Amino acid sequence: MTAQKHILIIDDEENLRHMLSVMLSRQGYRADCAANGVEGLAALRGTVYDFILCDIRMPEMDGKAFLQAALRDQVGSPIIMMSAYGTVDTAVECMKLGAYDYISKPFKKDEIVMVLRKAEERERLKDENSRLRAAAAGRFNHGGIISRTARMEEIFGKIRKVAGLKTTVLILGESGTGKELVARAVHCNGGRASKSFVAVNCGAIPENLLESELFGHVRGAFTNATGDKAGLFEQADGGTLFLDEIGEMSLALQVKLLRVLQEEEIRRVGATVSSKIDVRIVSATSRDLEADIQTGRFREDLYFRLNVFCLRLPPLRERVEDIPLLVEHFLRSALRDRDPGQMRIEPDAMRSLMSYVWPGNIRELENAIEHAAIVCEDGSITNACLPPAVRSVGAPWPLMEHDEELSIKKAEAAMERELIRKALARTGGNRTHAAKILEISHRSLLYKLKEYGID
């Protein structure tokens, strides 16, 4: 052994305690003794033991009661029960409760040493597994963004290149793809990391309030403006301002934002003078800004100011190989108060998770895992534990009306028709969103709806 292991022996028989203490000391262990479960719990309050040997039949507090109390106190040491004749059933009950193993009395020296060696090996493997998991998490975790795909590695490389510059960054991606995490990674990997990162959702604040929120105001600028107030630009001075859902900003406010980007100064609402600011702008949107420019919804000059450096995030359906990593990460988060090792994802559930199209992307996956962790009762997350929309993909395809013809063309048409129906059902009949899920153009979807006679 590389280090002396510390063992607690709990037994009401003094001769047995002495015999085990001497025998284990000769094997290189350091042993403490307790005469019953109460003394054992008292010993645990002052010492962390590598292993615990505990008899089942004892006065004051028996072995089963001790085990239950130790587990309630979250004692992590493997507990090995010692059972005399007639207590084997109780020993098995103890193992179901969480004991590592049991050994029947009377036992030989080799038997107890073998059980302890097995327990040592198990603990060594657990520690090694934890280290490997931690190393893997570090390898695939980039500032909270978890991935091992080539596309995301390319994005991580771009973040490292642009992070140290003041260049404006535009992050594009569907809702739930992690745009704010990427914005934070840009901020934290550059020279502004020690300064403020201020985030605002431009679509969540009413237009008449957003200007004051961004630029601040002076006393008397409008009703209820009872004092001067610094805006988010001033709060982010020296750091980064993240403008989420920039595509929702009104045209009038877009003009004022453009001026800030050009002049690097802001003027509070109601003020007569401007003040210089040093803010790095990172913006994000799930909208197609180029299409919005064509319809006059978004200013082209502002678009070019914001889109100096673009990061386009792939949806989760294009990062399927990341799903197991993300599931493990979200499961750990969902089980903060419990041991994540006590819960496992069954193959049928993982198949559904890997097959689902995830219109809500990573945010939807996180919610699905939290849902599954709550409803799961026996430590196994099965397909039935997942939200209905997720597990429905595991259902077999409906048989075609003419499946006896074995026509590939007709099979493809049946599958396509079913996918379109599912996409429309999932989006509540929103054809534009359904087309995105199906990864076809809106025009193609309209054509197929007519071709298949789908209302």
Which pLDDT tens digit goes with each residue over 127-181? 766 555 544 444 444 556 888 888 888 999 999 999 999 999 999 999 999 999 9
Phi, psi of 96 (to 5 degrees): -65, -30
Question: What does the alpha-carbon distance between residue 268 and residue 211 come to, in Å, rounded to a whole number?
Answer: 9
Residue 349 in 3-state DSSP?
helix
Can you give the pLDDT of all 455 residues of the chain as single tens digits? 446 789 999 999 999 999 999 999 988 899 999 999 999 999 998 888 999 999 998 988 988 899 999 988 878 889 999 887 667 788 888 888 888 888 888 887 788 888 898 888 888 877 766 555 544 444 444 556 888 888 888 999 999 999 999 999 999 999 999 999 999 999 998 889 989 999 999 988 888 789 889 998 888 777 777 788 888 999 999 999 999 999 999 999 999 999 999 999 999 888 888 899 999 999 999 999 999 999 999 999 999 999 999 999 999 988 888 898 899 888 888 776 565 556 788 888 888 898 888 989 999 999 999 999 888 877 788 889 999 888 865 444 444 444 444 555 666 677 777 788 877 877 777 888 888 888 788 877 887 888 777 86
The dihedral built from the CA positions of residue 138, 140, 143 and 145, taken in this order, carries a sign that is: negative
Phi, psi of 207 (to 5 degrees): -55, -40
Residue 236: which residues within 8 A CB-CB, separation 6 or more?
195, 196, 197, 198, 279
Query: What's the confidence (pLDDT) of residue 128?
Result: 67
Residue 101 in 3-state DSSP?
strand
Query: What's the confidence (pLDDT) of residue 7?
Result: 93
Question: What does the alpha-carbon distance between residue 207 and residue 61 come to, in Å, rounded to a whole number?
Answer: 68
Query: What's the confidence (pLDDT) of residue 392?
Result: 60
Query: What's the confidence (pLDDT) of residue 407?
Result: 58
What is the phi-psi region of residue 131: left when phi exceeds 0, alpha when psi lies from -120 to 50, beta otherwise? Answer: alpha
Topology (CATH level 3) of domain 317-394: Helicase, Ruva Protein; domain 3 (1.10.8)
Phi, psi of 412 (to 5 degrees): -65, -40
Question: Which amino acid would we find at residue 445?
Answer: L
Question: Which amino acid would we find at residue 57?
Answer: R
Class of domain 6-135: alpha beta
Nearest Cα residue to 224 out of 236, 241, 240, 208: 208
Asked if 152 and 314 count as a contact pair (C-beta separation under 8 A), the reply is yes
Query: What's the confidence (pLDDT) of residue 412?
Result: 65
Class of domain 151-314: alpha beta
The dihedral built from the CA positions of residue 164, 169, 174 and 179, taken in this order, carries a sign that is: positive
Residue 269: which residues within 8 A CB-CB, separation 6 or more?
211, 212, 215, 216, 217, 218, 221, 222, 225
Nearest Cα residue to 53 out of 3, 4, 113, 126: 113
Q: Judge: domain 403-452, CATH 2.30.30.
A: no
Q: Where are the domains of the chain?
A: 6-135, 151-314, 317-394, 403-452
Query: What's the confidence (pLDDT) of residue 400?
Result: 43
Question: What does the alpha-carbon distance between residue 236 and residue 183 come to, in Å, rounded to a whole number?
Answer: 14
Peptide bond into 78 cis (omega under 30): no
Residue 248: which residues within 8 A CB-CB, separation 6 or more?
202, 203, 285, 287
Angle at 374 between CA 372 and CA 378, to 5 degrees: 85
Question: What does the alpha-carbon distance between residue 403 and residue 414 come to, in Å, rounded to a whole number?
Answer: 10
Render pLDDT for 379-393 as a digit per residue (tens, 0 to 9).
788 889 999 888 865
Which pTM value belongs to this model?
A: 0.58
* Token representation of residue 262: 């050009």
* DSSP structure class, residue 172: E
Answer whether 6-135 and 151-314 agree in fold. Answer: yes
Question: What does the alpha-carbon distance between residue 64 and residue 78 come to, in Å, rounded to a whole number?
Answer: 14
Query: What's the confidence (pLDDT) of residue 280?
Result: 95
Asked if 20 and 9 count as a contact pair (C-beta separation under 8 A), the reply is yes
The dihedral built from the CA positions of residue 60, 66, 72 and 74, taken in this order, carries a sign that is: positive
- Burial tier of 194 (Cβ tally within 10 Å: 0-12, 13-18, 19+): exposed
* H-helix segments, 163-275: 179-188, 207-215, 232-235, 251-263
Question: What does the alpha-carbon distance between residue 242 and residue 197 come to, in Å, rounded to a whole number?
Answer: 7
Q: Which residue has the tokens 């600028």?
A: 221
